[in-house]
Every structure is written in structure tokens, then in C-alpha cells.
Structure 1
């Protein structure tokens, strides 16, 4: 029987095959333009500056006689906001007060160090987004990846080079398995991935906390929940020398970005994943297995998040704790949103968020501005990224309901 007359199977549904998401689809939130992302960052920084200004003590004092001398209030607001952002720049990009070139460039290397797990985990979230899945489980995938990477790092004795390779493979495999569980359950039962990933985040957190109470994982002679340090042979070498914390994990993040970009734009698997994300019904009609796509994309997303956990263990933390993932898994969601689920967009969004994290500490120490303002700016960025397409979607639905 020819392909044109073959009957539809159980995994195929007769439907028109649109090639892209409609303008009203809320998933356009993940795939908008670069200009929208840039404007979201600019507006968020402006509003963050206003918030810094109104909470500054000198601004409040000048506001007491605003109608007599309004210029004093406006000048104080400008000084408060500009000094905070200048201090953030000094802590994240370039410190002109450094004694040597290495001291002046140290903030930039710190930004790239912090950005490394954000980029890797963000790529995992973005890849799932492109396949139509909301991977909220990067936090748990980072934890499981870090756990296996740490165990291989301190329990195995291997030669230089081979040991680090084993750590990277173990971390990637741990994250892949944790993400693959979600893909498999969704493919077999239809359970929603958001619920599954949120639950597995808590399972991973409590599993790590329990493991750190066992003799094989808890550091000998310590009552704190911390593992033994990984061996020197399992550590990423420093990229620019011992003066900097930046390690070869950042190179892994760059290579991962290139690989994900190739996967999505140049490979058959990537085409199938994008087709599943654009329209699952049309993908089934074209003969693409949607259920297999769910499993594959969650395996890959978990693998990337596991690499983020490996970067933490073999790059900066050196030991496993229950807080080794920090908030990287949740920040990765905002990084993927800001990057519009594009590999290179996610890469640069990760660097931006790394700059916020690295510069926020310097901002607080130099100007006294609360570091929580960084979280406010990050939240505003996500809000402004998501608001326009969601507003269009809500308007469209209300018009349909009225009709």
C-alpha cells in the first residue's frame, strides 16, 4: 500500500500541518524577537533604578523639601541609581580600581564562572521548551548530576584526564536519567511534565540530604552534611591560571551551546523535536513519534542540567552539599525565557544573569544597596518578556468568548 493511501496508526491524527505557532499561541512567549528581550532588560533596569532611588536615604531626605528645590531630589535619585549600577559593573565586568590587569579583569571572569551552570541548565530548559515541554526540573537534574559526579570524583581513583572524563560522564548520565524519567512517564501515561518535574525536584533534594548522612558520602570527622572533596584529578583545570576561578567548564558550556544549535537547526532529530513543539498533531500526521520525542528531549535536557551540576562539583564547589545547585535550576528557566529558547540567546542570557549575580555582591558592599534588588530586576525581565504575548493571547480568547 502506498504512503498516500496508508491508514493512520494510533500515533497519527488527521490534522492540518501548520509549520509554525500561530501568533495567538502562548508558546510564542518562548520564541519572540531579540528586540523584545533587549527592551525587557532595559525597562527592567530603569524600574530597578527607580526602586533603588526611592529606597535611598538621601533621596528620602531631599524629598522632604521637593517643592522648594526639586532639583535636589532628582539629583539624589540619579546618584543613587547610577552609583549602584556602576558598582555592579565594577563587580561584574571591569574594575578600573584594580592594581593590575588581572585584578581589573577578575570581575569578568567571575561573571563567566557563575554563568557556566546557568548556561548549561538554561540550554536544557530551552531545548525542552522547543519541543513543547515545560521543564521545571532542572534543579533536581543538577542535584542528581552533581551527586554522581561528586561520588565518582572522591570515591574513584583514576589517572589524570580519565578521572575528569569519568566525572563529566557520570554527571551528564545522572541528569539524563532524572530527566528521562519525566519523559518516559509523560510518554506512557500523559502525566503533565510540570507536576512530574516539581515532584522530582523535591525527591532529588531529599535524596541528596539523606545520602549526605551516610558514611560513604559524609566527610569523615565532620558532623555537617558535606561529602569528601573530589580528587584533584577530577577537577576542571583553571582556564586562565590560579589567580582566577574560571575553569574549563565554561568551554564545555560553549561547546554545549554549539552542539544544541547544531542539533536544533541542522539535524533530523532537532527537526523532529521542533515539529513536535510547534504542533504535535501535525507531527503525528507526518509520521513523527511524539512520545519518542518526549523521551529524547527530556533525556537531553537532563543531560545538560547534569553537566551544570558537574561544573559546580568539578569547577567551583569541590564537594557535594544539599545546596550545591543553589537556585541555578530555577534561574535557568528565566535564562531560557530571556534567550527566547534559542541556544545562543540562552548563552548570552546566562552571561547577563551571571553578571547580575557577580555584580550584586559588589553593589551591596560599595553602595549599601540591598542585593535583593537584583532579584527584582530579574523578575521584572521575565515579566516583560512574557507579558506581551500573554496579553495578546488573553485578548484573543476574550474576543472569541464574546463572539
Structure 2
């Protein structure tokens, strides 16, 4: 262990645990200030998200969205890129899902439509990430700024399409027609009734998300392209010196990242809503940033972090119902604290832990 490098169990386990503990400690103080018992709040949150089958089904449903958006951010991280555009890429990815379902749902079963929905959502998300990627690779425009701008463009673009082009004839709602059975993914409760998920909308896209985790792991750690992506992210100058094209890596990585974000729409559009409608993303793209940070940009960590945020979403809904003083806005504050400690304050405990695990180096540096 040299240069302040930490054991993997510390870097991947202990530090995220401390950050999460700090977030919940501050959240507990907030709960006390509004006159509620934080231990009771924790019990309700855990029961609402994990304590019964239907609540756990909702937790898995939300986690599916976060797996897709967390993977999207993580892939970009490995190349030293910060893709803030997952929200817009997922939004536009809904077009790919809707086009596939609207075209095929009356003629073929869902398992024929699903591959086209996966390809359509990935293609649309990747296409929405292409221009920011090209602008950074060829013109030096920072991808953070351009992807944020493209989020807002996507919102306006989708409002126009759903209000003027794709809207169901005669309807006052800005949404497409409802898909037939050929455009609907089965709920897990229908496939595995013994699970007892009830009305939870968790569906087969969960397995698509898990397959995406395996694919991302294989890409990043077992392929030449993945090695180039990680090399470029670790040291862009050395990577260029080694013959790795920065334009190629930036564009290809952002296309993969955008495609993964776009696939989030499969869960919402084909798996739950069964129609394309306005504002179905509702912040999942931004939460994916915290999921990727907390999960250390590794698929296994992303799955665990996604389940955690799924618990906060589902358990928070139960909490606001059982304890009215803890409003939905308070739940958003708690979620924000987790994001704050997992993201912006991620290095808060790291210097002290490095000194603790490398005392000889700390002493040598002090004597020098």
C-alpha cells in the first residue's frame, strides 16, 4: 500500500458506509427538530421498502431505473467524463420505446417487441448524447455544460411531440395511445405470483438492467475498448501518447453512456406506464449520478446503491403517509443529504482514513 492507497474493502465498503451513516445521522437530527422520533422513522422506512412483498416490489421498480442511469454515469466516469445529461437521454429514449411499441404491439407478442424497444431506446439515448460528445471531442466544449443544456432541449422537444405529433387523437392529454399487450412487459407478480408483489409495477426490465450490469462489467474490465476507456480516464495525456484517439474514446464512451440512460425508459414506458407521456423521468437521471458515485462506478456497487435509493423512494412514500409531520418535501431533503454525502462530500472522511491506514507514511511526511 503506497501513496495513500487504501485497501479495496476500505475504499469500496468502509468509506461509502461512513458517508451514508453521516447522511442518516444528519437526517435524524432533522427529524428530531420537527418533533418526531428518528428510530420510529427508520422502522417505518425499512418496513415500507423491505418489510412486505409489495413494498419491496416498488423498491425494485425504482432501483431498476437507478441501475440504468447509474451505469450510464459510471461508464462516462471511467473515461474521465461527467455525463449530466442522463435525464434528457432517458427522456428521448422513451421515443425509441414508444416507436417500437406503437408499431408492433398489435401484431406480435411482447417478447418480440422487447428487443426492438431495447435497441430503439439505446439508439435514441446515444443519439442525444452524440452532439455533446462531438462538441467536447472536436471543439473543446465541456460535456457538463452541453449535457445540461440538452436536458432542457429534450424537455421542450418532448412537449412539442406529445402535444402536436404523437398525441392520441381526440385526447386532451399530452400522451400517446395506450399500448396493447404486445407492447407491455409482464409484471413480475404475473410471472412469479408466489412472490406476492401485488400491485407493484416491477417488471421484466429488472432483468434487462441486471444484464446491462454484466455487459458493462465485461466491457470495462475485459475488453480492449474498456482498457482504453479506463486508460484515457486515468491519464489522458499518457493515453494519447500510447496511441489512443481521444476523439474516438470521448464519442464512443458518451454514446454507450447515453444508450444506457435511454434504456431506463423501458422500465417506465413499456414496463409500467404503457404509453409515452410527459415527465416520466422525474429526476432519475440526476439520482443516477449519486448512485454511480456511491457504487464506485462498479456494476455491483451500482446495484447496491440503486436498491438503497429505491428504498428511500418507496420507504419515503410510506414514511410521509404514516408520519404526516415528515412531509414529502422532508423525504426529498433526506434524499438530498444522501446525495450530498455520497457525492459532494465523498472525500470528507478519506484523508483521516488514509492517515489511519498509512501511519508510517504520515509520520515520514511529518518528519520531512
Range of TM-score over shorter length: 0.7 to 0.9
Moved more, 144-153 or 279-288: 144-153
Give the alignment partner of residue 239 of structure 1, picking from 173, 185, 188.
188
Native 8 Å contact 1:131 1:278 kept in 2 = yes
- Whole-Å separation in 2 of the counterparts to 1:334 and 1:220: 40
Matches within 5 A, 1:3-402: 32-56=11-35, 80-94=37-51, 104-156=52-104, 157-160=106-109, 161-214=111-164, 216-241=165-190, 243=198, 244-368=200-324, 369-385=326-342, 386-387=344-345, 389=347
- Whole-Å separation in 1 of the counterparts to 2:160 and 2:317: 32
CA RMSD of aligned residues (A): 2.1
Native 8 Å contact 2:91 2:265 kept in 1 = yes
Structure 1's consecutive aligned runs of 4 or more residues displaced over 3 angstroms after TM superposition are 155-158, 388-393
Q: Deviations over 1:74-122 (max 9, x none)?
A: xxx6xx111111111121001xxxxxxxxx3111111001111111011
Q: Deviations over 1:116-165 (max 9, x none)?
A: 11110110011101110010000010011012211321244441122222
Shift of 1:390: 7.4
Native 8 Å contact 1:338 1:381 kept in 2 = no
Native 8 Å contact 1:143 1:309 kept in 2 = yes
SS at match of 1:271: helix
Native 8 Å contact 1:140 1:201 kept in 2 = yes
Native 8 Å contact 2:19 2:346 kept in 1 = no
Structure number with greater Rg is 1
Shift of 1:296: 0.8
- Whole-Å separation in 2 of the counterparts to 1:351 and 1:194: 26
SS at match of 1:33: helix
Gaps of 5+ in 2: 352-368
**TM value normalised by structure 2:** 0.86
Native 8 Å contact 1:146 1:171 kept in 2 = yes
Native 8 Å contact 1:140 1:200 kept in 2 = yes
- Whole-Å separation in 2 of the counterparts to 1:337 and 1:377: 17
Q: Deviations over 1:152-202 (max 9, x none)?
A: 212444411222221221111111111122222211111100111011111
**TM value normalised by structure 1:** 0.79
- Whole-Å separation in 1 of the counterparts to 2:97 and 2:243: 38
Shift of 1:261: 1.1
Q: Which residue of 2 aligns with 1:59?
A: none
- Whole-Å separation in 1 of the counterparts to 2:34 and 2:214: 43
Q: Which residue of 2 aligns with 1:66?
A: none
Native 8 Å contact 1:48 1:373 kept in 2 = no
The change in CA–CA distance for 1:258 and 1:388 in structure 2 (over 3 A counts) is closer
